[in-house]
Structure 1
Amino acid sequence: MHQVAFILYPGFELLDISGPASVFNGANRALGQRGRPAFYKVVPLSAQGGAVDSSSGIALETRPIAELPGKAGTVLVVGAEREPLLQAMADPVLRSMLPRLTAEAGRFGSVCTGGFVLAASGLLDGHRVATHWDACEAFARAFPRVAVEPEALYRAEGRLWTSAGVTTGIDMALAMVAHDLDAGIAGEVAKRLVLYARRPGYQSQFSPLLRAQARGDNPFGDLIGWMQANLDAPLDVPSLAARAGLSERSFHRKFTAATGETPARFVETARLDAARLLLSRGLPLKTVAAQVGLSPAPRFAQAFERRFGITPRLFRDMHMNPPAEADTVG
C-alpha cells in the first residue's frame, strides 16, 4: 500500500492531518465500491512516538519516525502556530530524520506552515512553495533560498508538494488522489466530503472579493457581496455608484481607497477569477463568458489572455475534469 506519513509534533494543527487523511480514506472507500483494493495507509509519525497533543487539545497516537515500517510513499509535515512551529524546527530528531525520510519517499511536502520545518532542514532550497498567506513574509525572510508563492493554494513541483493554509491541505490531497488514481475518484471523494468545489492549485488563497470583504472597515462589503452573486449584471461605475447611493466621482474615489483597486479593475479580476473555476469544470467559452458578464466570447478570450497569458480554451483543456462541449472561440 501507499503509506502516507504525517509528521506531527506538540501543538500541531489538527485539521492539517484530519482533512487530508479523510480524503485518502475516502479514496479507499471509493475504490472498495468499485471492487478494488485500498491504496492508501495513513501513518501518523512524531519524533518520539506516543500521544501528541494538537493545538485544539485533541491528541493523536503516533509511531516514532525511526520505526516507520518500510518506506513512505508520501511524507507530509503538518503546520502549527509560531511557538510550537519554532520548537519543531529546532527538534534534533526531526532535523536528523526528515532528510532521510523524504529522500526515500516517492513524494514529500507540507500542509500550511509545515513547510517551515522542511525548510529548517534545508529540504526546500531552490524550490518554489506555497504556505499560509499570513506566514509568507516571515517564510521569505527566514529562508531566502526558497521562493514563496503567496497566491497559490498548493503547488506541485516534481516530488515536492506544498499547500497553503489549513483547508487547502484537502485540495492538495484531492489533487494527489487524482494523480495517483484518477480524477473520477477524486471527484467522488470531494462530493462525499460535501465540498463546494475541487479547487485547483492556481486559485488564489483569497479571491479579490473575499480579500475586500475581510476588511472590517470596508464600507462596500454589502455591495461586494452583491457583485459576487451578480457577475453577469452591469457592473460599470454608473450602475455601482447608483446602488451605493453615491455620485460617480465620489464612488470611484471611495471604492478605490477601500479596496486598493479601481472599480473597473476590481470587477474584471472578480469576473476572471470566477471564469477560471467555471473553465476548470469544462464549460463552453460562450457559457462562461455569459455567466461572468464578459460576453461576447471574443471579448472574454481577449481579457483572459491579457490577464493570464494563456487562451481560455487552452486553460480549460489543461485543468478541466469533464469533457467540454465544442466551441469556436479561444
Structure 2
Amino acid sequence: MTEISDFLPHRPSHLAARTVVFIAFDGAEPLDLMGPIGVFSRAEELAPGSYALRVASVDGALLRTRSPLSLAGIVPLSSIEGRLDTVLVAGGHEQAIHQAATEVALVEWLNRRGRQARRIGSICTGAFVLGAAGLLDGRYVTTHWAAVDLLQQYFPKAKVDPDAIYRIDGPICTSAGVTTGIDLALALVRDDLGQEIASAIARDLVLFLHRPGRQQQISATLVAQQSAGDLFSALLVWMLDHPQEDMSVNALAERAAMSPRNFARRFLREVGKPPGQYVLELRIDHACRHLEKTGWSIERIAERSGLKNADTLHRVFRQHLGMTPAQYRARLAEE
C-alpha cells in the first residue's frame, strides 16, 4: 500500500526546523490555538523536521482558557531562543484581550523578538495585541466581524478589511478567528511546504482546502437566514439547496401557500430585502462557491447556480462584484 510519505516532499535534513510560537494568555479562545496547532502538527508529521512548535505565555504558568479547558506545558516567552519563523497570537474575550494588549512584557517581547520573525500574525481578536505593539500600521489586516470597527478605531493606521477570513500582507498575517485560524494556518503551511502537503492535511482534518483569504466572513444569504422568522426559515433553506429552481415571486408564494402580493410584503419585512434581490444574491453566492471549489466551466457554473448562461453570469458579476468570473477565479489563485 502506498503511504503518503512516498510522494510528499520532505524538508532537507540539514535545514533547521522552523520555530512556530503560539502566544496564549488567560482567557484565550481554545479553538484559536488548537485549530492552527493541529494544522502545523500534521505538517510536522508528514514532513518531519519542518516545524518546532511552542505554546508560550509571559510567565509559562498554567493557562485558563475561555472554556473550562486549562492548558499546561506552556513555556515562558523569555525561554524561547534562536531564530523565530512564525509567531501567532491567539484571540480571546474582551477583558482577556485588553489585559494581554496592555501587558508590558508581552508587548515588549513582540516588539523586540516578534519583529525578528519571518512572519507574525494573529487569530481573531489577537490582532488587538499586534496593534498594541505597533505591528499593524500600514498593513491590510482583519479580525472577527464583530470587532473590525473597533480595531480600525483603535489602530487608524491599519487597513482593516471587514470581510476577509484572513489577510497576509508581507510578514503580517491575520485571521477572522476561530475556524478561520485553520484556514490561515493551512495557507502558511502551503506556502512553506507546497500544495501536496496542504492537501493531505486538509483531507486528514476534513477541511475545505484553501478557502481564499478574501472570501467573505458572512455571506448575504446567511445574514438573511439569521434575520428571518419561522414563517420563512424552511423556505430559505429550500432556496439555498435549489438555486436552479423557479424562484419567481409567484412560484415562491405558491410554495409558501400565500398570495404573491402578501408573500412579497412579508418577505421584505422578515428577510430585510425583496425576494428578487435575495434570490440574486443567493445565486451569486452559489456561483462564487463553485468558482472557488471547482474547475467547472463558466457555462456550467452559471447553469448550476441558477443564472442560466455564461452571459448572464458575466453581467451579474460585473454589476455586483466589479469583475468577471474569470477575474474572480484568478484572484483566488493569487492568494
Matches within 5 A, 1:179-328: 179-196=191-208, 198-215=210-227, 217=229, 219-280=231-292, 281-319=294-332
Deviations 1:69-119 (A, max 9, x none): 212211111000011111111111012111122210111110011001111
CA distance in 2 between partners of 1:197 and 1:245 (Å): 41
**CA contact under 8 A between 2:221 and 2:281: conserved in structure 1?**
no
**2:98 matches 1:82:** no
CA distance in 2 between partners of 1:30 and 1:320 (Å): 24
Matches within 5 A, 1:95-244: 95-196=107-208, 198-215=210-227, 217=229, 219-244=231-256
Q: CA deviation at 1:51?
A: 2.2
SS at match of 1:172: helix
Gaps of at least 5 residues in structure 1 are 32-36, 322-330
**2:33 matches 1:21:** no
CA distance in 2 between partners of 1:160 and 1:218 (Å): 43
**CA contact under 8 A between 2:228 and 2:270: conserved in structure 1?**
no
**CA contact under 8 A between 1:231 and 1:292: conserved in structure 2?**
yes
Q: CA deviation at 1:171?
A: 0.8
Q: CA deviation at 1:225?
A: 0.8
Q: CA deviation at 1:241?
A: 1.9
How many residues of Structure 1 are paired with residues of Structure 2 in the alignment?
316
Q: CA deviation at 1:230?
A: 0.6
CA distance in 2 between partners of 1:273 and 1:211 (Å): 12
Aligned AA (2:54) = V
Q: Over the residues paired in the alignment, what is the CA RMSD in angstroms?
A: 1.9
**CA contact under 8 A between 2:199 and 2:209: conserved in structure 1?**
no
Q: Partner residue of 1:43? A: 54
Deviations 1:94-146 (A, max 9, x none): 12111122210111110011001111222112222111112223223322332
Deviations 1:297-330 (A, max 9, x none): 1111221222222221232234359xxxxxxxxx
CA distance in 2 between partners of 1:255 and 1:99 (Å): 52
Distance of aligned partners of 1:219 and 1:55 in 2 relative to their CA distance in 1, 3 Å threshold:
same
Distance of aligned partners of 1:94 and 1:63 in 2 relative to their CA distance in 1, 3 Å threshold:
same
Q: CA deviation at 1:218?
A: 5.8
* Percentage identity across paired residues of the two chains: 38
Deviations 1:128-169 (A, max 9, x none): 211111222322332233232221111111111110021110
**CA contact under 8 A between 2:314 and 2:324: conserved in structure 1?**
yes
**CA contact under 8 A between 1:72 and 1:105: conserved in structure 2?**
yes
Distance of aligned partners of 1:254 and 1:15 in 2 relative to their CA distance in 1, 3 Å threshold:
same
Distance of aligned partners of 1:213 and 1:308 in 2 relative to their CA distance in 1, 3 Å threshold:
same
Distance of aligned partners of 1:91 and 1:174 in 2 relative to their CA distance in 1, 3 Å threshold:
same
Q: Partner residue of 2:12? A: none
Q: CA deviation at 1:229?
A: 0.6
Aligned AA (2:34) = S
CA distance in 2 between partners of 1:178 and 1:276 (Å): 22
Distance of aligned partners of 1:198 and 1:250 in 2 relative to their CA distance in 1, 3 Å threshold:
farther
CA distance in 2 between partners of 1:93 and 1:196 (Å): 38
* TM score, norm. by length of structure 1: 0.89
Distance of aligned partners of 1:229 and 1:113 in 2 relative to their CA distance in 1, 3 Å threshold:
same
CA distance in 2 between partners of 1:260 and 1:140 (Å): 27
SS at match of 1:178: helix
Q: Partner residue of 1:328? A: none
CA distance in 2 between partners of 1:304 and 1:179 (Å): 29
**CA contact under 8 A between 1:5 and 1:74: conserved in structure 2?**
yes
**CA contact under 8 A between 1:209 and 1:225: conserved in structure 2?**
no
